[in-house]
Amino acid sequence: MITSQIIYKGNLRTKATHVKSGNEIISDAPVDNHGKGEAFSPTDLLATSLGSCMLTTIGIAAKTHGFNIDGTTASVIKIMASNPRRVSGVEVSLDFPEISYDDHTKMIIEKAALTCPVALSLHPDLEQRVTFVFFQLAGT
């Protein structure tokens, strides 16, 4: 079954359509590679997929183990290399809401993030740096 259909719109822009839902993503080449930078670049999408996958798998773990991660955010930094031009690293900061997670829950969260399908699919030479930021409730 086809996952997505992508059409080249010209001027280094594509439109990808998720076949099942009809949702669309526009991508542009980045400014430093002949583009306008008016949307996610394909390499931005790769890096963003890592953060999104981590949040999704943590969400699955939260549902399975009965804890809440609503409001958790992921900030993603893509690191490019040249010769050949490629993504050489992705930094993901996962910032959790003001909920007290015990050590066991934190371990479940970290394992879920680090073993998400995108993390396991990226080449081992692509450095993945992940930071987990757990806020503490006052008095805990």
- Whether 8 and 73 map to the same domain: the answer is no
Tens of pLDDT, residues 96-134: 998 889 999 999 999 999 999 999 999 999 999 999 999
Q: Domain span at residue 13?
A: 1-40
- Whether 58 and 36 map to the same domain: the answer is no
Distance between CA atoms of residues 110 and 133, nearest Å:
11
Q: Which one-letter amino acid corresponds to residue 55?
A: L
Total structural domains in the chain? Answer: 2
What's the pTM value of the predicted model, to 2 decimals? 0.93
- Whether 96 and 31 map to the same domain: the answer is no
Tens of pLDDT, residues 84-100: 999 999 999 999 998 88
Residue 32 carries which DSSP code?
G
- Whether 79 and 123 map to the same domain: the answer is yes
CATH of the domain at 126: 3.30.300.20
Q: How far is CA 18 from CA 15, 50, 90, in A?
A: 10, 18, 24
The 3-state DSSP class for residue 36 equals coil
- Whether 4 and 70 map to the same domain: the answer is no
- Whether 99 and 51 map to the same domain: the answer is yes
- Whether 83 and 101 map to the same domain: the answer is yes
Q: How far is CA 45 from CA 27, 34, 77, 98, 132, in A?
A: 8, 18, 11, 29, 21
